Amino acid sequence: MKFQAFKNLCAALVLSSSAVATMPALAHGAAPARHGGVVQTASDMSFELVPAADGATLYVVDHDDDYDVKQMGGKLTVLNGTEKSEAELKPVGGNKLEAKGVKLGKGAKVVAAVTEGRKTTTVRFTVK
C-alpha cells in the first residue's frame, strides 16, 4: 500500500513539473504598433518609427504607457540603399520625437540614437 502511494506521488510530481515547463514565458516584449509603424525594443522601452511625408516620427512607450520625451533628443540616421541621410530628433509633445528632412523608403535601414541626459539608447529599424 505504501509503495502505491509513493508511485502515485511520483506520477503527480512528474505531471505537475511538465505542466510548468510548457507554460509560455510571461516576459514583456515590444508593444504592438499603434501608429502603423515599425516597433523595436531597447532599454525596456518600445520605440515605434513611423514614416512621414517630410521625415519621420518616433513614438516612445514604457511598459504600455506613453513616455514623456520632453527631456529627450538625438539623431536619426537613414540608409536607403547607398544613400545616407541624417536628421536631428526633437521632442514635439507627449511621447513623440520628430526628424525632418529624411526619407524612409521601403527596405531602408534606420538607426535612432536617442539621448536623455547622459544616457544614449540606440534602436535599429528596417522599414517595411
The DSSP-derived string for the chain is: -HHHHHHHHHHHHHHHHHHHHTSPP----PPPPSSSSEEEEETTEEEEEEEETTEEEEEEEETTEEPP-TTEEEEEEEEETTEEEEEEEEE-STTEEEEES----TT-EEEEEEEETTEEEEEEEE--
Residue 29 confidence (pLDDT): 59
Place of cell 541621410: 85
Residue 8 confidence (pLDDT): 67
**Percentage of residues in the chain with pLDDT exceeding 90?**
68
Mean pLDDT over 1-13 rounds to: 63
**Is this structure's pTM higher than 0.85?**
no
Residue 33 confidence (pLDDT): 87
Mean pLDDT over 1-12 rounds to: 63
Give the mean pLDDT of the chain: 86
Sequence letter at residue 56: A
Residue 28 confidence (pLDDT): 55
| pLDDT tens, residue by residue, 27-86 | 555 668 899 999 999 999 999 999 999 999 999 999 889 999 999 999 999 999 899 999
Residue 32 confidence (pLDDT): 80
